[in-house]
Chain A
Amino acid sequence: MDIQVMSLEKDITEIQVNGRLDGITMPELEQRLEVDCFREQKFRLAFNLEKLDYISSAGLRVMLLALKKTTAMKGKLVLFGLNSSVHEIFKLSGFSSIYTIVSTREEALATMQ
């Protein structure tokens, strides 16, 4: 798994997660979020999942923790670019109803304005 964290306009942070988010890689994302976002008081997060090939329940767990943290800090969390299999997992788990999921970065930024 490869993770890129980038600052965008209006205090929005884009987190690009590439590869596999499973039971083995999940702690790496959890740590990067803690160090690069939450400790830096960044709670407006746009997850770029265009290159995320796979996610399991372990991966959903870290996404849920991120949502809880941003919500508690009155921030915002948006997901964009999910492939059909990853999107299906969000739907199957019911998580698609608690996340804002859009197709493109432009839509994500517009949602966060």
Chain B
Amino acid sequence: MASFSLKVLPLLSQWNIIREQLEQLAIKECWTDKQIFDIILICEEWFMNVLEHGQCDAASEIVVEVEHVECKTVKMLFSDAGIPFSPFEKGTPALAEATASVDQRLGGLGIYFIQNKISGYEYRYRDGRNYVTMFYSFDAADEEGGKK
């Protein structure tokens, strides 16, 4: 199974570097359009959340590792040197709460999207860095799609 790892600066323009890597991985792994859409959405929302709220030093690096770990699971690890922040400890925000913030450039809706797309996550804070690992299950996404 393929993977990539890269280090980027906490700048908006760096998102395109991550996205291009994700698209290349998607081609290698023959992901469907929906799987690509969901995985890019999860990664964009988390990256933008770190930029908006992480208070990262401009020279600090954000580490991104994405790996197709099993036949039907993609693991996405983001590590940043921002303030300690466990994104999902409060559970899934209410939709009204999430959308109320959308025009204030707050991350509520983005976190809401992530929580609706991932099948699991891990968080730890070590040596001054956040480590957020998110898992995307193709099976769970298929089930979700089947319900619609």
List residues of chain A with CB under 8 Å of any chain B CB. 22-24, 54, 56-58, 60-61, 64-65, 68, 84-85, 88-89, 91-95
Contacts and interface: CB of A to CB of B under 8 A. Distances in A.
B113 A92 contact: yes
Interface string B33-54: 1100100110011001000000
Given A54-B40, A56-B45, A57-B113, A24 B13 contact: yes
Interface of B: 12-13, 15-16, 33-34, 37, 40-41, 44-45, 48, 95-96, 98-99, 102-103, 105, 107, 109-110, 112-113, 116, 148
- Say what secondary structure dominates the interface of chain A: helix
Nearest to B16: A24
Contacts, number: 60
A23 B105 CA distance: 10
B103 A56 contact: no
Contacts of A65: 103
20 contacts: A22-B15, A22-B44, A23-B12, A24-B15, A24-B16, A56-B41, A56-B44, A57-B102, A57-B109, A57-B110, A58-B44, A61-B102, A64-B102, A85-B33, A85-B34, A88-B148, A89-B41, A93-B113, A94-B96, A94-B99
Contacts of A54: 37, 40-41
A76 to B, nearest CB: 20
